[in-house]
Structure formats: structure tokens, C-alpha cells
Amino acid sequence: MNAYSLSIKREIVVCLAACGVIAFSPILSLFVGLVRTVIIFPFKLDAMFVYGIFIFILLLAIKTVVNRSSVLLFGIIILLFIAYLIAFGVNGENIEYFTEYGINFLILSAPWIFITYAVRDFKLFKRYLYIISLIIIVSLIMNMYVFKIDVFGEYTYTQTYAYAMLPAAIIICDSFFKKIQFFNVFLFAVSIVFIIAMGARGPLFCIILYLLLKTIIVYKSKPKKAFLISAVISTICALVYVGFYKILNYLLIIFQEANLSTRILLNLLEGTYLVDSARNSLFNYSIELVREHPLVGVGIGNDRLLLAAKMQNSSVLEAMGWYPHNIFLELLLHFGIIFGGVIILYLLIVLFNSVIK
């Protein structure tokens, strides 16, 4: 086997591992759902088979991932973990909460960072991502309306499904900047309607932000193409705006009959889409906490406990969902004004160099 062939195989494995990390739950639920419509295996052997394949791919990719990692990346992960351990030590009475927080970091966040950093062939990666986006869309729709399987366990709520659909929506959206095809427009519309039906606004904001950033990036190298895409998007928005309330009322009737979330539709009809009293309270409480702990912050993870207490939520495990919904404010809460400010400045420089410069 020559060096080039070996390099390609390594790249394929890394791309498969990255895609698996992004969409493992939808892949698992789709496979299990399809298998169990035909036969029920003992000891959940069908699910164990998917886990086994995923672990096998990770094992094949781990050497390449480690070799392609940088000292800076290892340093950042180690520093974050040390900061987490310090927060854990100071707040030792909440063992169950901090244990879950640490497991999520070590098993979900850190591996994803290392694996995606190891990707080198982005054309190949995008091809695999497109396939993954199709699997996500089919899986979530089949899961909710055909298999009736709970993908995310006992903590499932509708917004979780919306965020699970977000990667698919962004991947399909990205394909528009290469070539606008009717099938992709249809898939994107399906993903958007699905997200709206789940009642989550966050994923919609993420998609809008991605569109803006991607347009700026494309404009630097292909201004005519960026202008054309902007014109198409503007035209679609104008057409939607003309019949905006008719479309909303039509969707509202459909959603009510299908027992789907009408939260976003009602917010748009009532003009309260950007109003959220809970998030405003979280933002204000976060500012208070930064003022109370300006130098070193409250520690990684501890911000959620403090915010949950201020929001009068007594459940420690449910505290995971209480955060300021603002990455810059969250960094100030975790590390204080000095260290948090340095991290924010670094992120802004990276963003500027990647998008604007």
C-alpha cells in the first residue's frame, strides 16, 4: 500500500469518526427503529452493533487524531479540565451535578474538538456531512412519527430534537453556496419547519448567523456569487413577507391539528418573538454574578447552579439548563473579567481573521 492510499484511508476514517460524533444518536435511532420493525433482538444487540461500529471507527482514527493534534489544543483542554476540577473541589457538595458535567466534557466535548481538528480533506468531509444530514432528517422524522422512540432518553424535550436537526439544516444551507438545487431547498425547508414545530428559537438564530458569516466569507473570494445568493435570499424573504401572516396562520392551523408546538408561530403573530422574560432574567442575574465575582468568576459549571438558585429552581440536576445564552458572558462567569476577557479577545481575533480579514 503506497503512502497516498494510506493517507486517503486515514482521512476517510477521521471524517467518519467526526460524522459519527455529530450524528451518533440519529444514526442509532434510525438503525434500531428499522431493525425492530422486523425483529427484536435480545440484550439490545442491534444497538450494541451500532455502538461497536462507532467504537471501532474511533479506535482506527485515534492514532491519526493524536498525531494531528497540537500542543496548544492539548494545553487548552488540560487547562479547562483543571479549571473544572477546581470548581468541583470548591463545590464538592454537588457531586452528582459536577460528575455529569465532567462526563459530558470528557466524553462529548473534548473528543469532538480533537476529531474535527484532525480533519484535513474538507471536500471529502463535506460529502460525508451531506450524507449525515440526510440521515439526521430521516431519522428524526421517522423517530417522532413512525418509530416513537425516545432518542435522547428521559431528559428529552422538544427543543432537544430541534437542536439535533440544526447540524442538518446548516449542512444543507452550506450546499447553497456551491449550487442551489431544488432537492436541497426542499430539505432545508423541511428542516426549518421541523425546528419551528419543536418550538426552539435558538437553532433558527444559529442558522441566520451562519448565513451571514458564510456570505461574508464567500464575498471575499467570490463577490458575484455572494451577491447572487444574497439577492436570492432577499427575494425569498420579500415573497414570504408579502404573505407573512397568511403563511403563519396557515401553519398554525396545521401545527394545532398535528399537536405540534405553536410557540414560535404565536410569538411571530403576537410580535413577541424576540421577547423572553426568562432569558432576560438569566442575563441580568449573570451580570450580577460577574459584578459579585469580578476577578476569578464563579468557576466552570458553578454558574448554572447559582443561576438556577436565582431562578428559584431547586433541582440540582436540572441546573444544567440554566445559563446566560451568551458565550461572552458565560466566559466572564467562568473565569472572571481578566482571564475571561483575554479568552474573549482571542476569540474575537480568531473570528476577525477567519471571516473579515
Distance (Å, rounded) from C-alpha 276 to C-alpha 254?
25
- From the CB of residue 125, how many other CB atoms can be counted at a distance below 10 Å? 19
Q: Which pLDDT belongs to residue 148?
A: 65
Tens digit of each residue's pLDDT (9 = 90 or more) over 48-91: 999 999 999 999 999 999 999 988 888 888 888 888 888 888 87
Q: Which pLDDT belongs to residue 198?
A: 83
The grid cell for 289 is 454574578
At position 285, the amino acid (one-letter code) is Y
Distance (Å, rounded) from C-alpha 204 to C-alpha 200?
8
Q: Which pLDDT belongs to residue 143?
A: 82
Q: Which pLDDT belongs to residue 157?
A: 45
- Return the closest-CA partner of residue 45 out of 57, 64, 32: 32
Long-range contacts of 318-322, Cβ-Cβ distance < 8 Å, separation of 24 or more: 319/97, 320/97, 320/100, 320/101, 322/282
Q: Which pLDDT belongs to residue 15?
A: 93
DSSP state of 293: S
Stretches in the chain below the pLDDT threshold 50: 151-157
Q: Which pLDDT belongs to residue 1?
A: 54
Q: Which pLDDT belongs to residue 2?
A: 62
Task: Tell me how many helices (H) and strands (E) the chain has.
Answer: 15, 0
Residues in the chain: 357
Torsion over CA: 101, 103, 106, 110 (sign): negative
Q: Which pLDDT belongs to residue 255?
A: 82
Tens digit of each residue's pLDDT (9 = 90 or more) over 140-191: 888 877 776 554 443 334 677 888 899 999 999 888 888 878 898 899 999 9
| Ramachandran region, residue 244 (left: φ > 0; alpha: ψ -120 to 50; beta: rest) | alpha
Q: Which pLDDT belongs to residue 100?
A: 81
Q: Which pLDDT belongs to residue 156?
A: 39
Inter-residue contact 8 to 116 (CB < 8 Å): no
At position 355, the amino acid (one-letter code) is V
**Rounded to whole angstroms, what are the CA distances from 352 to 61, 98, 280, 345, 348?**
32, 34, 28, 10, 6
**Rounded to whole angstroms, what are the CA distances from 154 to 10, 24, 151?**
37, 17, 9
DSSP for 297-337, please give it.
-S-TTHHHHHHHHHTT---SGGGGG---S-HHHHHHHHHHH
Q: Which pLDDT belongs to residue 18?
A: 92
